[in-house]
Amino acid sequence: MREILKHGTLSVGFIGLAECLKALIGKHHGESKEAQNLGLEIIGYMRKRMDEASQQYHLNFTLLATPAEGLSGRFVRIDAKKFGVIEGVTDREYYTNSFHIPVYFPISAWDKIKLEAPYHALTNAGHITYVELDGDPLQNLDAFEQIIRCMKEEGIGYGSVNHPVDRDPKCGYTGIIGDECPCCGRREDDGNEAFERIRRITGYLVGSVENFNNAKRAEEADRVKHGIESEREAI
């Protein structure tokens, strides 16, 4: 038994790098180069401590970029009680997932990928970077491919492109549905069966956000889409 345990990993996870940077210097890593450098220094230091512990104890200590579903709401409630409501830090219902740029912050897909990629190299227990797209990727496959290539070039270890997927349970149409089904023309507001709207929350694809905790529902509601109009240099 003792020998088997040595093959496991002992991971330390973190959330809220963005709020941490806001608290320290007033800006998160999507807002300033200085914050990005400080963020890399902090996470780099955490990784160094894991490596040192691995050497010292001959066990697999690793650093995990976690979404921490339950803790994202719990920690911010504890901190708000202790420190009060601080703008950009404790004024929302959730702490930002791992090293992510806050979901409410407007940023292009390209800049988001470039800013988050360096953290993938530091988080050897796992990580993910999301890009939120507005439309149907099938209508713009070139842009979709460019995003995947950009992720690969920048060193994203695990990337995900989120996009809305709607389905009409009556006629079976799958795609983007506005007020009216493009296939059969029916509307859901005239007493019909509702359209299914699939969204992704911390890795789960869900037809409705009802079953998620308040923190993650608040996060979903805050999300902005990431523009892909033109690729420009990262800030």
For Zn ion, the binding residues (CB under 5 A) are: 168, 171, 173, 181, 183-184
- Distances 228 to 96, 137, 188 between C-alpha atoms, Å: 23, 11, 31
Of 196 and 222, which has the nearer Cβ to Zn ion?
A: 196
Of 79 and 168, which has the nearer Cβ to Zn ion?
A: 168
CB neighbours of residue 97 within 10 Å: 24
Q: Smallest gap, in angstroms, from Cβ of residue 181 to Zn ion?
A: 3
Q: Smallest gap, in angstroms, from Cβ of residue 64 to Zn ion?
A: 42
Q: Smallest gap, in angstroms, from Cβ of residue 186 to Zn ion?
A: 5
Q: Smallest gap, in angstroms, from Cβ of residue 198 to Zn ion?
A: 16
Of 121 and 173, which has the nearer Cβ to Zn ion?
A: 173
**Under 8 Å between Cβ of 116 and 128:** no
- The C-alpha torsion from 130 through 135 and 141 to 146, rounded to 10°, is -40
- The C-alpha torsion from 67 through 131 and 231 to 139, rounded to 10°, is 170
Of 188 and 222, which has the nearer Cβ to Zn ion?
A: 188
Of 8 and 172, which has the nearer Cβ to Zn ion?
A: 172
- Look at residues 166, 161, 163 and name the one whose alpha carbon lies nearest to residue 197: 166
Distance, in Å, from the CA atom of 57 to the CA atom of 52, rounded to the nearest integer, reads 9
Q: Smallest gap, in angstroms, from Cβ of residue 146 to Zn ion?
A: 32
- Tell me whether strands 204-206 and 174-175 are parallel, antiparallel or unpaired: unpaired
Of 21 and 181, which has the nearer Cβ to Zn ion?
A: 181
Of 138 and 148, which has the nearer Cβ to Zn ion?
A: 138
Q: Smallest gap, in angstroms, from Cβ of residue 173 to Zn ion?
A: 5
Q: In this structure, which long-range contacts are made by residues 100-103, counting pairs with CB atoms below 8 Å and at least 24 apart in sequence?
A: 100/17, 100/18, 100/129, 100/130, 101/18, 101/28, 101/29, 101/30, 102/18, 102/28, 102/30, 103/132, 103/219, 103/222, 103/223, 103/224
Q: Smallest gap, in angstroms, from Cβ of residue 39 to Zn ion?
A: 46
Q: Is the Cα torsion angle 98, 100, 102, 104 positive or negative in sign?
A: negative
